[in-house]
């Protein structure tokens, strides 16, 4: 594909950016703090898709782009590439997460119980239009419970394995520095499981939702249920060169296990997805896709290469955006071919019209003319 180099127009380009910035207004620290305070779930989504946990930088990216998600993710990913990698954090298990919400739709009475936590799942979705008329909507205070829920919860999958419902775990112990990293390695197929889960973790929420929904609607081999969904905070544990493990802070995380009947065995099968921030719909869709990609299927929404390539937010948005670049050479070539075809058609029509009438008369017309 050929592109034309853009020459000139620097002032027009500068003015175009000024028009964009003028719509957004001044970019201040106070405005960024307000974005972070008022839009925590949007900030979480940007951090998840950028695979960089830094709420202030994510809020800055959102404020700087006027809330254009793909631009914000691109800014944060670009910044990420400039930072050195100092350490690799210790693995986090289900049991390590400081849980604020944990539900299961497949089993009612799960070990540790269900914790609704912060959610709108059971609320009426009504727009509070009175606020536009000057009313102030103040949230009702939370009533403290008589007892506090445990800070951590057991893994439901462990209980299921004890019951023989799920196949034994086959996780291999891999040194931290040897874990494949999709941000440094090319995504080749079939990918290692680490690459699949990392790609889902930084995947486009909307793209994963669309493909996960397609699976649920019959355009995929599975129709699973939520086995274990949890929101919480995970300690970032680092190993000091002297061997001591210490916490560098906490990050908000979401994780979901989806469960389905294993068609090849009398057990249940689990799909998994986790990401930075609180983003339930993404992890539900991602765990559904993880399950479906394990099955042999002719559905595109269950094909690993199709799913992982087409849910990459920066590459997908970048390719769509690139169509705005000057395609003058390519388009001029198509236009020349179209004009040539039209000219050939006109010439053929003119030659046919210029031929003697007898050449164009039917047999019956010739006989009639000679009689």
Contact 183, 201 (CB under 8 A): no
Q: How far apart are CA 346 and CA 130, in angstroms?
A: 66
pLDDT for the residue 247: 94
**Please, which pLDDT band fits residue 173 given cuts at 50, 70 and 90?**
confident
Average of pLDDT values for 22-30? 94
pLDDT for the residue 275: 97
Residues facing residue 258 across a β-bridge: 226, 271
Average of pLDDT values for 113-138? 94
**Please, which pLDDT band fits residue 256 given cuts at 50, 70 and 90?**
very high
pLDDT for the residue 303: 96
CA angle 344, 348, 349 (to 5 degrees): 115
Contact 212, 218 (CB under 8 A): no
Whether residue 358 is predicted with pLDDT greater than 60 in this model: the reply is: no
E strand spans, the chain = 98-103, 225-239, 245-261, 268-276
pLDDT for the residue 200: 97
Strands in 245-261's sheet, in edge-to-edge order, are 98-103, 225-239, 245-261, 268-276
Q: How far apart are CA 311 and CA 300, in angstroms?
A: 13
First-residue to last-residue Cα distance in the chain:
63
**Please, which pLDDT band fits residue 302 given cuts at 50, 70 and 90?**
very high
231 vs 330, higher pLDDT = 231
Q: How far apart are CA 223 and CA 211, in angstroms?
A: 13
Least confident of 119-133, 286-300, 352-366: 352-366
pLDDT for the residue 369: 62
CA angle 268, 273, 275 (to 5 degrees): 160
Of the ranges 106-110, 199-203, 324-328, the best mean pLDDT one: 199-203
Average of pLDDT values for 56-77? 97
pLDDT for the residue 177: 84
**Please, which pLDDT band fits residue 237 given cuts at 50, 70 and 90?**
very high
pLDDT for the residue 6: 59
Average of pLDDT values for 297-303? 93
Q: Which residues contact 65 (CB under 8 A, 6 or more apart)?
A: 71, 72, 75
């Amino acid at each position: 594909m050929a592109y034309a180099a853009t020459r000139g127009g620097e002032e027009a380009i500068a003015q175009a950016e000024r028009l964009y910035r003028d719509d957004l207004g001044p970019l201040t620290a106070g405005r960024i703090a307000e974005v972070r305070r008022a839009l925590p779930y949007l900030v979480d989504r940007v951090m998840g898709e950028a695979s960089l946990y830094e709420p202030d930088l994510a809020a800055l990216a959102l404020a700087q782009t006027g809330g254009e998600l793909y631009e914000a993710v691109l800014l944060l990913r670009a910044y990420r590439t400039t930072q050195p990698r100092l350490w690799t954090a210790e693995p986090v298990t289900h049991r390590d997460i400081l849980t604020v919400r944990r539900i299961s739709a497949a089993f009612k009475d799960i070990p540790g119980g269900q914790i609704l936590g912060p959610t709108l799942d059971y609320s009426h979705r009504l727009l509070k239009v009175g606020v536009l008329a000057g009313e102030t909507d103040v949230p009702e205070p939370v009533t403290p419970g008589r007892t506090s829920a445990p800070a951590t919860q057991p893994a439901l999958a462990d209980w299921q394995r004890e019951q023989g419902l799920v196949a034994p775990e086959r996780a291999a112990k891999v040194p931290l520095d040897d874990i494949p990293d999709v941000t440094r390695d090319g995504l080749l197929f079939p990918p290692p499981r680490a690459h699949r889960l990392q790609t889902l973790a930084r995947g486009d929420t909307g793209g994963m939702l669309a493909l996960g929904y397609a699976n649920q609607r019959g355009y995929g081999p599975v129709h699973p249920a939520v086995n274990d969904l949890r929101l919480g905070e995970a300690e970032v544990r680092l190993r000091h060169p002297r061997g001591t493990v210490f916490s560098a802070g906490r990050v908000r995380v979401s994780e979901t296990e989806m469960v389905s009947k294993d068609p090849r065995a009398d057990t249940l099968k689990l799909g998994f997805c986790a990401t930075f921030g609180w983003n339930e719909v993404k992890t539900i869709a991602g765990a559904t896709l993880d399950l479906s990609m394990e099955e042999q299927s002719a559905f595109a929404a269950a094909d690993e290469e199709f799913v992982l390539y087409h849910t990459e937010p920066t590459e997908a948005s970048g390719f769509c955006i690139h169509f705005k670049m000057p395609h003058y050479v390519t388009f001029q070539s198509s236009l020349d071919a179209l004009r040539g075809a039209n000219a050939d058609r006109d010439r053929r029509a003119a030659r046919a019209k210029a031929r003697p009438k007898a050449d164009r008369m039917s047999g019956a017309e010739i006989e009639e003319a000679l009689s």
